[in-house]
Structure 1
């Protein structure tokens, strides 16, 4: 049997990862610039509202974008999204050079979020069509590295651009990132998808996608695991670490060290997964990673000093990367080509889409009950994600198709 080359040796997949990572970099620059401009024009409270409003179109349109990715050319949707976001950013840069008002920021944020929501399900639909099934695991690892690097670089780069040239420079630079992403993606040649003889009406297509997910026991269970994992993870990492650092007297450097520890751990975990392919009993691997992350969250919460807290966030990152890679590759390997866009859109909703809601809930609960109980409760939700992985045999013993053939 011929052994497929690793995904990182596939030129067009490397180009895809570069294009998606640069697009994510642009997203990060935009949200930093948006928050800075909102604080300058109004207040931190108003900035929070503006950021929450900007997330609403993504939340509402992620699922609605799924049928578009399955009905139309996913690559063209990604390229079109990049092109439109570049134009939006150039318009925003022009506005910032003349007069910036808070209502203009809100309008731009809403339009940007709507266009951005189309990119993610299209990307999820396209990715598996650039690889063979046995390349999906290390392909997911390479993408994890690229996206993680973009997220780590995007925020400080956005801050630097705003410091040097204000909102106008940040938006102009952001437009460049989307144009570079467009150029990287436009020459890809994904495996074609066999289309139905007659195209379903849009809403019928959406309903068919939801029925497909609900009837597929492995995919619907993975969706539940992803939701529990996300609920337990995003609150502690986005708000909890800042609250802990403030309460323990570690200050802003403490937040930076803990996030750096998480980033280093995630990078190491993704690098390991480039070489290690988990093909059998994947549910057990997911469960071990989720339990380990729960231990890391609890460890950071109860750590008596910053050094142990940083070590705990390294553990979170070290296991978080493989967890996402195993869930993603297992889902991709078991999704029919005709439903990839709709499956990807629901996955994005349950991970990225609910993030603002979880962050708001964790912040409110921490103010009412205290940071430590809420962080420990989040660790408990994270551990709960391991339960279906261990109890349900079709997930516990799940294998990739090439493992089953072997």
Structure 2
């Protein structure tokens, strides 16, 4: 629980800081804003596999402590440098620094629940983190807006430093209960990094689980962030109506994850995850064909239930199925699959909307989600896997 509190405090700091970074960059126009955000994404994608290998080699906890200490120092230096203003070069350099640290931090952080709780408790533990993350996402934007308005980018950097300091104290106090020995150094770091990819895509359960994750990142996540605003403008709905669709999706997600927190997984994790993609696809189809904003809100709720069910079952499945020697490396592959799919499909779907309209593209996304979900159900190793159910 102490580790969860530390992670949630860190997420609050990230929400405020990312908003502040984007807001400061937007002052210089779209090109600088896009370049700043890309400066985070590019090093993260390039170094993720190496970050996972380092974490498996020297321990996830040490990587997290090092990352928090580095970001604490960097945030304080940044606050001082940005006190009198934040020029574009400083913002881009900040993006690069954040992306590099993320590449090592995210795989280590993703593997920590497996090191802290038993496999049977993973669904509840990950669902608790997801609920907290959803609440922070809903409230982080308004809080960040107020803070940046009062204290500017430098103030946001100070707050970010405080959250990193708190998380650093938590990580120093927390001791893993199910720690695994570091992976043997059998080859060079790059070979160890690629070993994570080979293990992930040769495993009978991890392979289809990663394909489902990529499909969700490519065809489900852009629905809310990209396609709902475009659909709202196409149908001449108000910004408030579009916001209610977002809210309904969040309610659906939180409701499902709270159920999982209370009673554990709803069934076989692979079966539930694949079925959830089918349900989410039905919700996306209803959204695309909705004749009114009211119908879109109901569709948003269905999407949220599907998305929440998927997330609450696929994350513990992947983590529990990972070999002890490759915990962080498999998490690196997972984040990489999500990042690449989202990066690619945000651009592809946005361009297709300009050609065909949001309604047509939503229908395409729905068909793809249903198709991938059915393919997942056809995978016997995924469908029949009972990871996390042994002690129920």
TM over 0.5: yes
| 2:14 paired residue number | 27
| Counterpart-to-counterpart distance in 2, 1:401 and 1:266 | 21
Of 52, 58, 74, the match for 1:66: 52
Of 228, 237, 242, the match for 2:215: 228
| 1:257 paired residue number | 244
| Counterpart-to-counterpart distance in 2, 1:101 and 1:382 | 42
Of 366, 378, 386, the match for 2:353: 366
Which secondary structure state, in structure 2, belongs to the residue aligned with residue 110 of structure 1? helix
Give the deviation of 1:298 after TM superposition: 1.8
Map 1:128-167 → 2, pairs under 5 A: 128-167=114-153
Give the deviation of 1:153 after TM superposition: 2.4
Of 372, 375, 382, the match for 1:388: 375
**Does the C-alpha gap of structure 1 residues 54 and 322 become closer, same or farther in structure 2, counting only changes over 3 Å?**
same
| Counterpart-to-counterpart distance in 2, 1:92 and 1:368 | 42
| 2:77 paired residue number | 91
Deviations 1:330-354 (CA, angstroms, capped at 9, x unpaired)? 1222212111010000001112454
Which secondary structure state, in structure 2, belongs to the residue aligned with residue 385 of structure 1? helix
Map 1:169-248 → 2, pairs under 5 A: 169-190=155-176, 191-195=178-182, 198=185, 200-248=187-235
| Counterpart-to-counterpart distance in 2, 1:337 and 1:296 | 37
Query: Could you list the runs of 5+ residues in structure 2 that have no partner in the other structure?
Result: none
Give TM-score scaled by structure 1 length.
Answer: 0.90
| 1:4 paired residue number | none
Q: Is the 8 A contact 1:232 1:378 kept in 2?
A: yes
Query: Could you list the runs of 5+ residues in structure 1 that have no partner in the other structure?
Result: 1-13
Give the deviation of 1:217 after TM superposition: 1.3
Q: Is the 8 A contact 1:67 1:342 kept in 2?
A: yes
Give the deviation of 1:196 after TM superposition: 5.0
Of 29, 41, 48, the match for 1:43: 29
Give the deviation of 1:110 after TM superposition: 0.8
| Counterpart-to-counterpart distance in 1, 2:152 and 2:378 | 53
**Does the C-alpha gap of structure 1 residues 164 and 197 become closer, same or farther in structure 2, counting only changes over 3 Å?**
closer
Deviations 1:91-113 (CA, angstroms, capped at 9, x unpaired)? 22222212321122111111111
Q: Is the 8 A contact 2:268 2:389 kept in 1?
A: no
RMSD: 2.0
Q: Is the 8 A contact 1:69 1:125 kept in 2?
A: no
Q: Is the 8 A contact 1:125 1:344 kept in 2?
A: yes
| Counterpart-to-counterpart distance in 1, 2:143 and 2:43 | 25
| 2:331 paired residue number | 344
| 1:319 paired residue number | 306
Which secondary structure state, in structure 1, belongs to the residue aligned with residue 83 of structure 2? helix
| Counterpart-to-counterpart distance in 2, 1:193 and 1:212 | 18
**Does the C-alpha gap of structure 1 residues 218 and 197 become closer, same or farther in structure 2, counting only changes over 3 Å?**
closer
Deviations 1:169-194 (CA, angstroms, capped at 9, x unpaired)? 12211222222222222211112212
Give the deviation of 1:70 after TM superposition: 0.2
| Counterpart-to-counterpart distance in 1, 2:54 and 2:141 | 30
Deviations 1:22-67 (CA, angstroms, capped at 9, x unpaired)? 2222222222111111121x12343233222321111212222110
Give the length in aligned residue pairs. Answer: 391
| Counterpart-to-counterpart distance in 2, 1:101 and 1:225 | 41
Give TM-score scaled by structure 2 length.
Answer: 0.94
| Counterpart-to-counterpart distance in 1, 2:344 and 2:134 | 22
Of 319, 322, 338, the match for 1:332: 319
Q: Is the 8 A contact 1:50 1:106 kept in 2?
A: yes
